[in-house]
Amino acid sequence: TKWVYSFGRNGSEGTAEMRNLLGGKGANLAEMSNLGLPVPPGLTITTELCTYYYANGQTYPDELKAQVTEALARIETEMGMRFGDAENPLLVSVRSGARASMPGMMDTVLNLGLNQATVEGLARRSGDERFAYDSYRRFIQMYSDVVLGVDHSLFEDRLEARKEEHGHDLDTEMTADDWKALIADYKAIVQSELGRPFPDDAHEQLWGAIGAVFGSWMNQRAKTYRRLHNIPAEWGTAVNVQAMVFGNMGDDCATGVAFTRNPSTGVKEFYGEFLVNAQGEDVVAGIRTPQHLTVAGKLANGSNDPAMEEAMPVVFGELVAVKDRLEQHYRDMQDIEFTVQQGRLYMLQTRNGKRTAAAALKIAVDMAEEGLITEEQAVARIEAQALDQLLHPTLDPKAAKTVIAKGLPASPGAASGVVVFTADEAEKRAQTGEDVILVRIETSPEDIHGMHAARGILTARGGMTSHAAVVARGMGRACVSGAGTVRIDYAKGSFTVGDVTVKAGDVITIDGGKGEVMLGRVATIKPDLSGDFGALMTWADKIRTLKVRTNAETPLDAETARTFGAEGIGLCRTEHMFFSDDRIIAVRQMILADDVAGRRTALAKLLPMQRGDFVSLFRIMAGLPVTVRLLDPPLHEFLPHTEKDIAEVAAASGIDAQKLSARAASLHESNPMLGHRGCRLGISYPEIYEMQARAILEAAVEVSAELGQTVTPEIMIPLVATRRELEILRKLVDTVAAQVFEEKGARVEYLVGTMIELPRAALQAAKIAEVGEFFSFGTNDLTQTTFGISRDDSGSFLDSYREAGIFDQDPFVSLDQEGVGELVKIAAERGRSTRPDIKLGICGEHGGDPASIEFCQMAGLDYVSCSPYRVPIARLAAAQAAL
Ligand code: PEP
Ligand code: MG
């Protein structure tokens, strides 16, 4: 087996297409070499080796060593240096590189190959003793932390102590002799912590680092990241060993990171940061504040430090040419890392850059308009779910706000919440339903769970490419980073800005689009849905074949859904219309009435209200289809709970409270979800459905006349299991319809159909379709009844089910395609067998879930219906499903 692939000027064995085998980093390093870009030579050990390693008790195959040695020799040849050589030592970096990028998750070792002999060689060759010993101490520090597992604070403390003893404020004031002394101390720390010396042999160092990268695949933060991003453990990571180039050899050296377009806004501008005389990790660590690449970037951020464009104009020009080449080649925004060693540019990485949803949208639309990609590719490129971030509110510019601090606009969106200072606290309070803002000096991979739980993240330190910024953008959390005036005191549980003190538990608002931090909660407004968003949606609409409707019963929801592009209402849950204060008494009176007459009295009060509801919905939908579902209450939700509730109903109905209480008690069910609900209620109390059918049809007649266009209501019967149920209730609706049309002297078309939300109904779909003109899959109940898992109680064991690998995903969120999906397919097929033109849709929560939408496309449904805010997601997901 070939486990090792070389890359470099003399030809690479890999290409960008090989990312599964070489990992993203390795594949792109090979590709960049193939493009003739300046990449230091290196080797990639494949992800298959990682799999082998874990399948074989953490051991390597015999042939690996020889393959690494051979590839290393190629690096030596290209560099004209030798690994472990005292005269002209080759140093390497060792980095992980999985198939999917996992920023900050895995460990990196730089400057590997240094020992007492080689450091002297490096000093002679570079003519810079201070640089050589600085590199050596960095190496010991990193290697000890990452490979040997020695707590890095021991080294940090020692460094700080040395600085203090010798009156140095900054690392840059440390002399070669300082570093030498520190190196002796570092080695002593390792000896005393581990009881053995720090390894001197370059090859031993290399194999230690390779083992550490493979080992880090299974560390806790990598596991957490994989779980949050659905990355399977079997993918494994590759290891990249690459010749070191140095950005810290003097003032003609630098290191930097850049995006070919702005990753926050998507604007087509070269965007990045660099540090003169520094090594790569200095930029990301956020210890020194980096300078901007371009003059425009510098001016926009009010910085006084020279931009790279000014400080190193020639290399900057080369860098611009490289980034243009990369963007043309990959046809996507790239996130690049580079180093300048003594005026020469080297590329260390390129990958498709992480970006906010807003940037993803703008970049895709711009690139399609630039002709770099097609409209279809633009549509395919946006993660449907991520649109969610664009549909949520931003700060109302007119709202009063007290800005107390400014930082970098690291990840857009406005968020308010209570201040917490630790990731654990963020998670804990978020679980109780609180909005929290996580406030940290800076974040690290240990904070991921808290960042995920938080609405927003505020850090005092770090740039646009700091950990906090990168991770927040990926997760779609609002983030303000590097708010330097924020002084955080973890011990006191507070932060101060000037003379303002904010304590844990106080509410603040952050605006990640502007970088502002405000006291209290600030009002927000709806997002702009025209422009790029409109363009992408237009393209999506041209592609998709599924219709998208909404689940809505209030005028506000219906209007929101229409502005989001809903093509009708797929589910109007009429029981939701009964909860308002002015109606609930009449509803309770109806339910608690002990005879038909009592019920009819209550229903007479409800009729005009219901009719009014439908009139407004029909007006808003202006001729688009509206599916109204007749009452489907789990009865207990409506029963009076308190004495006051009972007293109110008693007053309204004239029945005494005692009697009402007894009646309510008698309606108690032990399993209301499987109880007297849905069509069962319509069968036992037909007058309820009669009233609703009348309200719907009267409203339809009225609005048809008004609009001069017919409104065609779709009347839907819930929880049907048998043909006979539907037959009885269809007859009831038809009878009411005939009466209404006669009374009004006008008629409308209407459909009567059913929900398919019980397995029996799915199986009996052929017979049910003889009576019903449409099916709408109620996949909430269908999931509940297929699994026999209560939709309200599954939370308590869902996590153990996920952990045990029984569920990949919550089946109430993403459709169980295997089981519930099979019932959907059966019902669709059998329904069509007796009624070929039957309309098929889905209205469970799954109607807004992209994976489920893809399934609906496959199953041949006509439409999906989802909550208003998911309508755009569904439109895009439907287009992607059709591609
Ligand atoms: C369903 O069961 O999927 C459905 C849409 O109905 P409800 O959620 O109201 O039970
Ligand atoms: Mg249901």
Q: Quick: pLDDT tens for 514-524.
A: 899 999 999 98
Dig out the tokens for 729 from the structure: 């209730």
Pair 30, 7: CB distance under 8 Å: yes
Tell whether the model's pLDDT for residue 596 goes beyond 70.
yes
State pLDDT tens for residues 27-63. Answer: 999 999 999 999 999 999 999 999 999 999 999 999 9
Distance CA 418, CA 521 (A): 10
- Going by CA atoms, what residue is nearest to atom 9 of ligand 1? 573
Tell whether the model's pLDDT for residue 106 goes beyond 70.
no
Distance CA 182, CA 175 (A): 11
Q: What is the CA radius of gyration of the chain?
A: 33
Tell whether the model's pLDDT for residue 691 goes beyond 70.
yes
- Reported confidence tier of residue 392, pLDDT bands at 50, 70, 90: low
**Rounded (10°) angle between helices 202-216 and 129-146:** 40
pLDDT the model gives residue 129: 94
- Reported confidence tier of residue 103, pLDDT bands at 50, 70, 90: low
State pLDDT tens for residues 564-578. Answer: 999 999 999 998 888
- DSSP assignment of 397-428 equals TTS---EEEE-EEEE-SEEEEEEESSHHHHHH
State pLDDT tens for residues 665-690. Answer: 888 888 888 999 999 999 999 999 99
Distance CA 207, CA 241 (A): 11
Distance CA 454, CA 427 (A): 7
Ligand 1: distance of its center to the CA of 821 in Å? 16
Long-range contacts of 80-87 (CB under 8 A, 24+ apart): 81/243, 83/113, 83/202, 83/203, 83/206, 84/113, 84/118, 84/201, 84/202, 84/203, 85/118, 85/121, 86/117, 86/118, 86/120, 86/121, 87/121
Which phi and psi angles does 583 have, rounded to 5°?
Answer: -110, -25
Ligand 2: distance of its center to the CA of 7 in Å? 58
pTM above 0.95, yes or no: no
Tell whether the model's pLDDT for residue 873 goes beyond 80.
yes
State pLDDT tens for residues 739-793. Answer: 999 999 999 999 999 999 999 999 999 999 999 999 999 999 999 999 999 887 8
Catalytic residue among 843, 846, 856, 866: 843
State pLDDT tens for residues 53-71. Answer: 999 999 999 999 999 999 9
Mean pLDDT of the chain: 92
Tell whether the model's pLDDT for residue 465 goes beyond 70.
no
pLDDT the model gives residue 800: 87
Tell whether the model's pLDDT for residue 105 goes beyond 60.
no
Distance CA 523, CA 662 (A): 47
Distance CA 146, CA 134 (A): 18
**Comparing 640 with 181, which gets the higher pLDDT?**
181
**Comparing 651 with 829, which gets the higher pLDDT?**
829
Going 329 to 330 to 333 to 336, the CA torsion angle's sign is negative
Which residues' Cβ are closer than 6 Å to ligand 1?
A: 571, 573, 632, 757, 778-781, 843-844
State pLDDT tens for residues 122-153. Answer: 999 999 999 999 999 999 999 999 999 999 88
- Could you tell me the domains of the chain? 4-243 (3.30.1490.20), 254-355 (3.30.470.20), 393-525 (3.50.30.10), 544-882 (3.20.20.60)
User: 341 vs 32, 249, 346, CA distance in Å?
Assistant: 18, 7, 8
Across the range 267-273, mean pLDDT stands at 94
- Residue 258 pairs with which residues in a beta bridge? 272, 336
- Reported confidence tier of residue 432, pLDDT bands at 50, 70, 90: confident
State pLDDT tens for residues 626-642. Answer: 999 999 987 777 888 88
Lowest mean pLDDT among 193-207, 374-388, 570-584: 570-584
CA angle, 292 as apex, 290 and 298 as ends, to 5°?
125
- Residue 417 pairs with which residues in a beta bridge? 508
What 3-state DSSP class applies to 496?
strand
Give me the half-sphere count of Cα atoms (radius 13 Å) on the Cβ side of residue 741: 10
Across the range 593-609, mean pLDDT stands at 93
Residues 6+ apart with CB under 8 A from 839: 714, 751, 753, 773, 774, 775, 862, 863
Across the range 445-455, mean pLDDT stands at 87
pLDDT the model gives residue 456: 95
Percent of the chain at pLDDT above 90?
72
Query: Which of 569, 573, 630 maximizes ligand 1 atoms within 8 Å of its Cβ, making it the mutation to test the pocket?
Result: 573
Query: Which of 780, 814, 865 maximizes ligand 1 atoms within 8 Å of its Cβ, making it the mutation to test the pocket?
Result: 780
| 467 belongs to the catalytic site | yes
pLDDT the model gives residue 152: 86
pLDDT the model gives residue 797: 85
Distance CA 539, CA 415 (A): 31
DSSP type of residue 662: H
Q: Which residues lie near ion ligand 2 (Cβ < 5 Å)?
A: 757, 778, 781
Tell whether the model's pLDDT for residue 284 goes beyond 70.
no
- Going by CA atoms, what residue is nearest to atom 1 of ligand 1? 778
Please name the amino acid found at residue 539.
Answer: W
Distance CA 6, CA 29 (A): 10
DSSP type of residue 289: P
Distance CA 824, CA 778 (A): 10
- Residue 503 pairs with which residues in a beta bridge? 494
For residue 632, which atom of ligand 1 is closest to its CA?
A: 9
